[in-house]
Chain A
Amino acid sequence: MTERETELLNVPPGAPHSNILSETGSYIIGLALALILTGVSFWVASTSVLWGPGVAVGLVVLAIAQMGVHLVFFLHITSGPDNTNNVLALAFGVLIVFLVMIGTIWIMAHMNANMGMSPELTNLQMQH
């Protein structure tokens, strides 16, 4: 294996390694896309053009897209064979984040619904 091949086989996360885009180009495209997505997010949140309940969903989709832009263009995480460990670690992290957030929200929503208490009853402060 040549040294170049060795170098390409395993890449540290965050290090630029693509031959297609110049390094600066990667950042410029990333910035442009992120600015656009940010702008659209702020617009979506303030306009009444979209159907109400869909706005939150749309914002989440835009946020995920922007996170993807950051990952690809700023952090240089791609799906190449040289990046497998980095992607696997990211996938594991995303799974845990998903479980923690969705699990907690689902459980706590049920808890609050079933075990809802009025503030007066729950004020168990000791009287000093």
Chain B
Amino acid sequence: MTTASEAPAIGLTHGGSEDTGLGHRGPESKSIVVPYGFWLFVLSDMVLFSALFASYATLAHATDGGPISNQLFDRNLVAIETIALLVSSFVCGLAMIAAKRANMIWTQGWLLVTGLLGFVFLSIELFEFAKMIGEGAGPQRSAFLSAFFTLVGCHGAHVTCGLLWIGTMMAQIWAKGFQPHIMRRLLCLSVFWHALDIIWVAIFTIVYLIGTLP
């Protein structure tokens, strides 16, 4: 994504010694530094989810005589959610390809589809939550349910932030075009969106599939 005309990282004026042979060429350009920093943030987010998973694993059987996973989870709904999020990840990739070619219509279009699929995912999840709460299986019922709602809800909260971000990016691209800093942010957004799908793979496997084995 580096272009010849793009300014390197702040203040680099040293023109000489591109290759010292022994190690470093000087500070990397922003197009590398920014996504790398964001990648580190995403990894810290993975650690956050690992702590939530660890809590869930500890409390998965602490049902306090209340509802258990087999009674609560509908695998069909989960399958639809999973497909929605997975396809949205794919479509996000297409949006990045369009953005690289500075194609406004296709970029906005694919971003919109990404957002809509994410919205479908969230709607199903909220529906599931509301149903469970209505049946008396809300997070206050037992430790298992507290852990479930927090883990899955935290992922849903991240998806919500992602949707806000998609909306903001669509507005920014429209207003400012495909400038370098906008492209960097799009790249970060796509990394974020793919990472959320990776976490969902862990969630549907551990919580919904393994959690509901006979």
A residues apposed to B, CB below 8 Å: 1, 3, 6-7, 10-16, 23-24, 26-28, 30-31, 34-35, 38, 41-42, 45-46, 55-56, 59-60, 62-63, 66-67, 70-71, 74-75, 85-86, 89-90, 92-93, 96-97, 100-101, 104-105, 108, 112, 119
Contacts and interface: CB of A to CB of B under 8 A. Distances in A.
Nearest to A8: B2
Highest count of chain B CB atoms <10 Å: which of A15, A24, A101: A15
B92 to A, nearest CB: 8
Given A27-B90, A56-B213, A10 B53 contact: no
Interface of B: 1-2, 4, 18-19, 25, 28, 31-32, 34-36, 38-40, 43-44, 46-47, 50-51, 53-55, 57-58, 64, 75, 79, 82-83, 86-87, 89-90, 93-94, 96-97, 100, 187-188, 190-191, 194-195, 197-198, 201-202, 204-206, 209-210, 212-213
B46 A13 contact: no
A100 B75 contact: no
Contacts, number: 141
For the complex of A and B, list the 10 residue pairs with the smallest distance between their C-beta atoms, beginning with the closest.
Answer: A93-B43, A12-B35, A104-B54, A27-B93, A63-B205, A13-B39, A14-B191, A97-B50, A45-B209, A31-B90
Main secondary structure of the interface of B (DSSP, over half): helix
B87 A31 contact: yes
B205 A104 contact: no
Contacts of A31: 86-87, 89-90
